Homo-oligomer: A and B are copies of this chain.
Amino acid sequence: MIHDNKPQEKISVLLVDDHPMVQGGLSACLAYYDDIEVIGVAHDGKDALNKAKELKPNVILMDVSMPLMNGIDATEIITEQLPDTKVLIFTMHNSSEFVHSAIQAGASGYVLKDTSSEEVYFAIKAVTKGNTHFSSSIAKMLQESPLKIENDKLTTREQVILSFVAQGFSSKDIAKKLDISFRTVEAHRRNIKAKLNIESLADLVRFAINHGLINKEGE
């Protein structure tokens, strides 16, 4: 076992978040650590892409919900074009679909916004070394349902139906919109509920909101 004790270079970090408050707070928190340097900030996915190519940071702290391009899509492009740059998702969304999408996109870790700055620091250190880091609740989620979610995922058609349902349209309305029989719509509703193990319409609406099919205002 050889220890590498030479004075380490600072870990360069790019912050990507559209909320100035979060950005400011985060860079202030990270300024406390000598071995980390925030070398840039970006306000959306497109911006992140440009800054990442220009600055080639070691780690990108990436928010998910942003204007122009979301963090997952940006992560996918960045991890493909810049394999040496690690992406650490930093968000308040803790739904399993987001987590799975992030992993699929090549993220090295997933940290929730309500964790301590110490954990963010350790997560940055971990992914820099090529390891992964997931917040405890996320790790637990991955343990509990590593493949179940994948298998039970909704088809594209079902997602369309569900988004209409969650927007308040009746089966008849949806049938007209999609030009199919309302019996078909009802069949899809049954399948969706069975797949998600959900019984009430209210739970469907919350599922749709929590998984990004609609936003809180109703798409």
Q: Which residues from chain B contact A202 at a C-beta distance below 8 Å?
A: 165-169, 201, 205, 218
How many angstroms from the CA of A53 to the CA of B185 in the assembled complex?
Answer: 59
User: Any chain B CB within 8 A of the CB of A116?
Assistant: yes
Known: A25-B29, A201-B168. A20 touches B114 (CB 8 A): yes
Which of A152-160, A175-183, A209-217 is near enough to bind chain B?
A: A209-217
Q: Which residues from chain B contact A22 at a C-beta distance below 8 Å?
A: 21, 25, 113
Q: Which residues from chain B contact A113 at a C-beta distance below 8 Å?
A: 19, 21-22
Chain copies in complex:
2
Cross-chain contact of A29 among B24, B165, B170 (Cβ < 8 A)? B24
Question: Distance (Å) between the CB of A197 and the closest chain B CB?
Answer: 13
Q: Which residues from chain B contact A115 at a C-beta distance below 8 Å?
A: 20-21
What residue of chain B has the Cβ atom nearest to residue A216's Cβ? B210
State which residues 24-39 of A face B: CB under 8 Å. 24-26, 28-29, 31
User: Any chain B CB within 8 A of the CB of A73?
Assistant: no
Question: Distance (Å) between the CB of A22 and the closest chain B CB?
Answer: 7
Q: Which residues from chain B contact A28 at a C-beta distance below 8 Å?
A: 24-25, 28-29, 31
User: Any chain B CB within 8 A of the CB of A200?
Assistant: yes
Interface size band for A:
35 or more
How many angstroms from the CA of A202 to the CA of B167 in the assembled complex?
Answer: 6
User: Any chain B CB within 8 A of the CB of A191?
Assistant: no
How many angstroms from the CA of A20 to the CA of B121 in the assembled complex?
Answer: 14
Question: Distance (Å) between the CB of A173 and the closest chain B CB?
Answer: 10
How many angstroms from the CA of A206 to the CA of B205 in the assembled complex?
Answer: 8
Question: Distance (Å) between the CB of A139 and the closest chain B CB?
Answer: 18
Known: A206-B216, A209-B209, A216-B209. A117 touches B24 (CB 8 A): yes
Contacts A168-B200, A206-B218 given; 7 further ones with Cβ under 8 A?
Answer: A21-B29, A25-B25, A28-B29, A165-B202, A167-B202, A169-B202, A201-B201
10 nearest A-B pairs in the assembled complex, by CB-CB distance: A25-B25, A28-B28, A168-B200, A168-B202, A205-B205, A19-B114, A20-B116, A168-B203, A202-B205, A24-B29
